[in-house]
């Protein structure tokens, strides 16, 4: 049967996108293939599509389907009532392995084109995906749409383009001619083929199933590896939609849909722990807790393991030329999605003697209360606040807030209020606690990750002490982000040196519409892979180059 998606059709449709993506990778300026303006998407149609998925089975027609599982409850209240196939890995994984050779033999260009086709189809389902992300992660609708849709697709496309560049570094066939004086030259022809490692396992996370999942999914697929997607049991739908879309596109392009499959699991089953150790799982992508990420890195020796784990993100305040801008920018970063981002600042280090600003010197107390005020102002209107904060995904966050309140003096109370639209939604505003670096034992608090809307305003003796604490935090716990505010060239140089030494991503003096907890595909690296917060960066050369091996066949010419 001739596939309906032929190579020439795919080339016509997607070659320009791939070329643009490849040049964006090189230039690293602003570029996005997908609009992230919510007004460009039909919210109501997305809601209807989402509604039609709830309360029923999500069919995927995978081999080895055993029972059906599903326990998703929206952080906004409603139970989703969707059940997904739970596969028997002894049946599904061999089927996935069997799909590999034809996909490998199609070559990097065709794989990239098919991947872009999948991304394009996902883009067409953006509003539907937005609802799925919203009602599994608790993100507000606008954020669920942007981060869960176009921004995630951009990261996926970045991975596809990176993989294509890496696999086409040199020709697929070469000639080698070595002169030998009066003798005939030696001549060899070679084929150089990217040979995939084998089945990749994607272990999805609760808070950003698509944004954190697409890079690994598409990097593995574009380099020839089948991908088994094991979503977080409370955030299955966004990845199930992704898998279904990928399977359709693969089949229409003439490939085995088993190249992408879903491994749903029962609640509390922890199937990632057994899947990850299977000899036939050769790649693992994971976003989540340091404990499980460390376990994977230590135990899944048969696989290449890519982790983004928890870190402790620091803000260092030394001085600023735009005090109001600093407060507004930081207040937004603390509030967005109730701090449930791996990039949300946690420890705000402020000299106890205060900081220099364009409004004159500001004491420690003043800075803390001004920041608390800025958050209060930002979240003054419940409807607007609810959209920004979203809902708390994991009830564990609530007890973490309670525990954090006990660590010091509360400077800003975490407020709970009824979501205007979803009265059952768990909405919480940021908590800000005052600590002093001199307090005995305070390191225990500061060197732990308090995932959720928890931040500490920490009085330090000096900027030098803040730099030392930053260095220690980065070395021992790692970080996804560091933010610094200073007008001093010397302090800036020291901040840069610490972040280079400890391989952390630094943002300086953000006072406008760019936030420390957001990165842009094609321009910004997310994580570095070089500190304890994770061993992978989105999307650097190592992220794709390590997912395949070069297989060479030499023949005398």
Beta partners for residue 284, in sequence order: 201, 305
Query: Can you say whether the dihedral through the CA atoms of 117, 122, 255, 550 is positive or negative?
Result: positive
Using rule CB under 8 A, residue 490 touches its own copies: no
Using rule CB under 8 A, residue 491 touches its own copies: no
Interface stretch with its own copies, choices 8-16, 211-219, 420-428, 496-504 (CB under 8 A): 496-504
Minimum distance, C-beta of residue 100 to its own copies, in the bound complex (Å): 8
Using rule CB under 8 A, residue 175 touches its own copies: yes
The torsion angles phi and psi of 17, rounded to 5 degrees, stand at -60, -45
Using rule CB under 8 A, residue 488 touches its own copies: no
Using rule CB under 8 A, residue 48 touches its own copies: no
Omega before residue 539 within 30° of 0, cis: yes
Is there a contact between 263 and 229 (Cβ–Cβ < 8 Å)?
A: yes
Using rule CB under 8 A, residue 550 touches its own copies: yes
From 178, 182, 406, 444, residue interacting with its own copies (rule: CB under 8 A): 178
- Radius of gyration of the CA atoms of the chain, in A: 25
Interface stretch with its own copies, choices 87-95, 141-149, 268-276, 499-507 (CB under 8 A): 499-507
From 1, 8, 30, 489, residue interacting with its own copies (rule: CB under 8 A): 30
Using rule CB under 8 A, residue 513 touches its own copies: yes
State which residue, 384 or 549, has the beta carbon closest to its own copies.
549
Compute the distance between CA of residue 367 and CA of residue 344 in angstroms, rounded to an integer.
Answer: 19
From 27, 358, 381, 424, residue interacting with its own copies (rule: CB under 8 A): 27
Using rule CB under 8 A, residue 504 touches its own copies: yes
DSSP state of 34: S
Compute the distance between CA of residue 391 and CA of residue 339 in angstroms, rounded to an integer.
Answer: 11
Residues 58-97, mask of contacts with its own copies (x by CB under 8 A): ----------------------------------------
Using rule CB under 8 A, residue 39 touches its own copies: no
The footprint of its own copies on residues 191-220 (CB under 8 A) is: 192-193, 195, 197
From 330, 437, 506, 521, residue interacting with its own copies (rule: CB under 8 A): 506
Residues 402-421, mask of contacts with its own copies (x by CB under 8 A): --------------------
Kindly determine how many residues on this chain lie close enough to bind its own copies according to the rule CB under 8 A. 67
Beta partners for residue 208, in sequence order: none
Using rule CB under 8 A, residue 142 touches its own copies: no
Compute the distance between CA of residue 26 and CA of residue 498 in angstroms, rounded to an integer.
Answer: 27
Using rule CB under 8 A, residue 523 touches its own copies: yes
Compute the distance between CA of residue 115 and CA of residue 21 in angstroms, rounded to an integer.
Answer: 13
The footprint of its own copies on residues 265-304 (CB under 8 A) is: 297-298, 301
Angstrom distances, CA of residue 390 to CA of 214, 339, 459: 22, 10, 30
Tokens of residue 469, six digits: 């604490």
Contacts 24+ apart (CB under 8 A), 18-27: 18/112, 18/113, 18/116, 18/160, 18/161, 18/164, 21/157, 21/158, 21/160, 21/161, 21/522, 22/161, 22/164, 22/165, 24/161, 24/522, 25/158, 25/161, 25/162, 25/165, 25/522
* DSSP three-state, residue 550: strand
Task: Identify the H or E element spanning 93.
Answer: helix 89-124
Using rule CB under 8 A, residue 487 touches its own copies: no
Using rule CB under 8 A, residue 102 touches its own copies: no
State which residue, 172 or 448, has the beta carbon closest to its own copies.
172
State which residue, 57 or 170, has the beta carbon closest to its own copies.
170
Is there a contact between 210 and 239 (Cβ–Cβ < 8 Å)?
A: yes
Tokens of residue 252, six digits: 């229409």
> Where along the sequence are the contacts to its own copies (CB under 8 A)?
25-30, 101, 104, 166, 169-171, 174-178, 180, 186, 188, 190, 192-193, 195, 197, 297-298, 301, 496-497, 499-501, 503-514, 520, 523-525, 528-530, 537, 540-542, 545-546, 548-556
């Amino acid at each position: 049967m001739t596939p309906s998606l032929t190579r020439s059709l795919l080339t016509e449709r997607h070659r320009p996108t791939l070329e643009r993506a490849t040049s964006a990778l090189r230039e690293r300026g602003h570029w996005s293939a997908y609009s992230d303006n919510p007004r460009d998407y039909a919210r109501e149609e997305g809601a209807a599509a989402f509604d039609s998925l709830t309360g029923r089975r999500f069919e995927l027609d995978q081999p080895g389907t055993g029972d059906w599982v599903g326990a998703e409850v929206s952080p906004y209240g409603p139970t989703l009532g969707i059940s997904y196939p739970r596969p028997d890995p002894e049946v599904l994984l061999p089927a996935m392995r069997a799909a590999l050779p034809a996909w490998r033999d199609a070559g990097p260009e065709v794989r990239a084109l098919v991947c872009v086709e999948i991304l394009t189809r996902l883009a067409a389902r953006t509003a539907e995906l937005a609802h799925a992300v919203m009602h599994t992660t608790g993100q507000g609708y606008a954020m669920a749409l942007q981060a869960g849709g176009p921004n995630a697709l951009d990261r996926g496309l970045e991975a596809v383009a990176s993989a294509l560049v890496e696999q086409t570094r040199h020709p697929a066939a070469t000639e080698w001619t070595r002169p030998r004086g009066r003798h005939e030259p030696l001549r060899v022809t070679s084929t150089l083929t990217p040979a995939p490692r084998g089945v990749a396992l994607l272990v999805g996370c609760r808070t950003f199933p698509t944004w954190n999942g697409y890079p690994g999914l598409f990097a593995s697929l574009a380099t020839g590896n089948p991908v088994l997607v094991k979503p977080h049991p409370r955030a299955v739908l966004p990845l199930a939609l992704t898998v279904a879309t990928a399977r359709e596109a693969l089949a229409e392009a003439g490939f085995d849909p088993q190249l992408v499959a879903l491994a749903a699991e029962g609640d509390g089953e922890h199937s990632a722990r057994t899947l990850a150790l299977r000899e036939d799982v050769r790649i693992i992508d994971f976003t989540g807790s340091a404990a499980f990420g460390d376990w994977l890195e230590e135990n899944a020796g048969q696989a290449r393991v890519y982790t983004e784990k928890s870190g402790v993100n620091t803000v260092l305040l030394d001085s600023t030329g735009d005090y109001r801008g600093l407060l507004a920018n930081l207040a937004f970063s603390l509030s967005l999605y109730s701090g449930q981002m791996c990039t949300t600042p946690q420890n705000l280090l402020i000299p106890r003697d205060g900081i220099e600003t364009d409004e004159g010197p500001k004491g420690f107390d003043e800075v803390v209360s001004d920041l608390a005020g800025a958050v209060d102002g930002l979240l003054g209107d419940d409807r607007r606040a609810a959209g920004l904060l979203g809902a708390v995904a994991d009830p564990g966050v609530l007890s973490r807030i309670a525990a954090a309140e006990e660590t010091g003096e509360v400077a800003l109370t975490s407020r709970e209020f009824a979501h205007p639209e979803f009265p059952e939604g768990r909405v919480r505003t940021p908590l800000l606690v005052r600590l002093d670096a001199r307090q005995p034992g305070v390191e225990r608090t500061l060197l732990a990750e308090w995932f959720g809307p928890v931040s500490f305003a920490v009085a330090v003796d000096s900027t030098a002490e803040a730099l030392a604490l930053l260095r220690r935090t980065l070395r021992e716990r790692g970080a996804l982000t560091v933010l610094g505010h200073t007008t001093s060239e010397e302090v800036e140089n020291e901040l840069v040196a610490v972040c280079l030494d400890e391989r952390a991503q630094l943002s300086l003096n953000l006072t406008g519409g760019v936030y420390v907890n957001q990165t842009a595909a094609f321009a910004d690296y997310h994580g570095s892979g070089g500190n304890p917060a994770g061993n992978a960066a989105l999307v650097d050369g190592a992220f794709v180059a390590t997912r395949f091996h070069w297989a060479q066949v030499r023949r005398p010419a």
